[in-house]
Amino acid sequence: MNEQKALAILCKAYLKAIGAKNYDLRSFEYQDKKETFLKLDPFFIALKSIVLDTEELACLEFLRSLDKKSIPEGLEFTVELLKKHGGARVGSGNFSPYKEETKVVNFRCPVSKENEFREYCNAKLEEYKK
């Protein structure tokens, strides 16, 4: 087993467990010249709170057996593993009930008029849908 591939499998398990949508392990990384390394000790501690499957446990034991403090990050492996999902398609998703582009608008109103204002805005938005 390759150390970067083992690291990538564990990174994927960690990111999945914490619900991360993209690759973000900055708290375990450091830079040396042009290469990024991952500090293993704090990463192993973070993995203790995660339930790992048999492949991930094998990777963890493999990395522990290397007796290294850090290894070059397997970013290309991890990104490749993380991208094995469906992804977005053009034209998929909910369609706007309005016949034009929409924008989120935030502004202040008096607290005493909040409900009245919400009712007015919702009534107006219903009109625009027709």
**For residue range 69-92, what is the model confidence (pLDDT) as tens digits?**
776 665 555 555 555 555 566 666
Q: What is the pLDDT of residue 112?
A: 95
CA angle, 15 then 7 then 72, to 5°? 115
For residues 60 and 21, which has the higher predicted lDDT (pLDDT)? 60
Query: What global pTM score does this model have?
Result: 0.49
73 CB contacts (<8 Å, ≥6 apart)?
4, 7, 25, 29, 36, 37, 38
Q: Is the pLDDT of residue 61 over 80?
A: yes
For residues 5 and 83, which has the higher predicted lDDT (pLDDT)? 5
37 CB contacts (<8 Å, ≥6 apart)?
29, 30, 31, 70, 71, 72, 73
Residue 94's pLDDT band (cuts 50, 70, 90): confident
